[in-house]
């Protein structure tokens, strides 16, 4: 650190006619040098070793640029509240308008290799569910490496409702789900009312009753609703991807996601994902 500046030895004035002007110029230069050194020393004593860094703000986008799309990213862990919740409280609407609100979010592409299939997400009007929240949850599930893209043979991407898509994930009240599934060739009634979810061509239809209340196989085992939701999305989308129902490969082991876990675990333990420990988990075909 510079504490002081030592001035150079005095300069003897030159002699001879016409040299006084040069002497005064030289003396003035010495004075400027000394003053400058003193000022630098003072700044360094105060901790200022360099000029303040300049900050540059990024240039604004062109006025005609489209706003960036939201890109929900997979969230592998539930919040503490969701980690223990078995069912949502309150009455579940049994009938909606039959019309759907499509989420306007677009995700990144999930998976690194394989065929790309795009999907949309829609929520029935009158279900009291938010399309954006449902889309974020669906996106987080299907974007997880334990889901269908983890094997490196398939890629998925959520797109806006106005975009072309290969299939749509619907959240519908039980009455609407019953009609949509029946139109697609599947009767989801149990005990006289629409109970399970289903897949119709180009549609993974999630029954609002199950989305909010889970299923007895999960509730009795005290498995969180959060986990059941992972299962039912993976299961119905699995049908759309060409997978069929399976049985339990080992009693007491994890159930493949294509087991009808809403109705029975077939001797297995509930499990929500197509993959486990980096490998595909499958059971015998039914």
Domain total of the chain:
2
154 and 242 assigned to the same domain: yes
Question: H helices of 157-260, where?
Answer: 174-183, 208-213, 216-219, 225-240
Q: Which residue has the tokens 């009767």?
A: 187
198 and 115 assigned to the same domain: yes
Q: Which pLDDT score, from 0 to 100, does residue 77 have?
A: 66
Instruction: Single out the residue of 76, 96, 89, 210 nearest to residue 150, CA to CA.
Output: 76
Identify the helix (H) or strand (E) that includes residue 141: helix 131-142
The burial of 120, by beta-carbon neighbours within 10 Å (0-12 exposed, 13-18 middle, 19 or more buried), is given as buried
Q: Which pLDDT score, from 0 to 100, does residue 86 have?
A: 98
- The answer to whether residue 115 sits within a structural domain is yes
Q: Which pLDDT score, from 0 to 100, does residue 59 have?
A: 32
145 and 236 assigned to the same domain: yes
Distance linking the first and last C-alpha atoms of the chain? 82
Rounded to two decimals, what is the model's pTM? 0.74
- The answer to whether residue 84 sits within a structural domain is no
- The residue segments making up the domain with residue 38 are 1-12+20-48
- The answer to whether residue 185 sits within a structural domain is yes
Q: What is the CATH number of the domain that holds 145?
A: 3.40.390
105 and 241 assigned to the same domain: yes
The per-residue pLDDT string of the chain (286 residues; one tens digit each, 9 = 90 and over) reads 333 333 334 434 444 444 444 444 444 443 333 344 434 344 333 333 333 333 323 333 333 333 334 444 455 566 777 789 999 999 999 999 999 999 999 999 999 999 999 999 999 999 999 999 999 999 999 999 999 999 999 999 999 999 999 999 999 999 999 999 999 999 999 999 999 999 999 999 999 999 999 999 999 999 999 999 999 999 999 999 999 999 999 999 999 999 999 999 999 999 999 999 999 999 999 9
Instruction: Single out the residue of 279, 280, 283 nearest to residue 268, CA to CA.
Output: 283
39 and 151 assigned to the same domain: no
223 and 124 assigned to the same domain: yes
- The answer to whether residue 90 sits within a structural domain is no
HSE (CB half, 13 Å, CA atoms) of 127? Answer: 27
């Amino acid at each position: 650190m510079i504490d002081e500046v030592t001035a150079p030895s005095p300069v003897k004035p030159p002699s001879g006619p016409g040299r006084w002007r040069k002497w005064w110029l030289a003396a003035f230069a010495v004075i400027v040098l000394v003053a400058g050194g003193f000022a630098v020393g003072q700044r360094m004593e105060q901790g200022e070793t360099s000029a303040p860094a300049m900050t540059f703000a990024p240039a604004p986008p062109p006025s005609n640029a489209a706003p960036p799309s939201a890109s929900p990213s997979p969230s592998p862990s539930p919040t503490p509240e969701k980690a223990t919740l078995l069912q949502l409280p309150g009455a579940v609407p049994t009938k909606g308008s039959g019309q759907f609100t499509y989420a306007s979010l677009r995700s990144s592409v999930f998976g690194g290799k394989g065929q790309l299939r795009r999907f949309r997400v829609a929520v029935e009007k009158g279900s009291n569910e938010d399309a954006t929240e449902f889309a974020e949850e669906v996106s987080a599930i299907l974007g997880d490496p334990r889901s269908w893209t983890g094997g490196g043979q398939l890629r998925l991407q959520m797109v806006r409702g106005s975009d072309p898509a290969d299939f749509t994930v619907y959240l519908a009240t039980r009455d609407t789900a019953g009609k949509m599934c029946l139109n697609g060739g599947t009767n989801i009634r149990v005990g006289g009312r629409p109970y399970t979810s289903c897949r119709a061509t180009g549609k993974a239809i999630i029954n609002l009753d199950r989305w909010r209340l889970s299923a007895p196989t999960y509730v009795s085992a005290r498995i969180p609703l959060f986990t059941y939701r992972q299962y039912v999305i993976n299961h119905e989308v699995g049908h759309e991807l060409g997978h069929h129902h399976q049985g339990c490969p080992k009693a007491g082991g994890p159930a493949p996601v294509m087991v009808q876990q809403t109705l029975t675990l077939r001797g297995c333990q509930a499990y929500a994902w197509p993959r486990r420990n980096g490998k595909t988990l499958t059971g015998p075909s039914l």
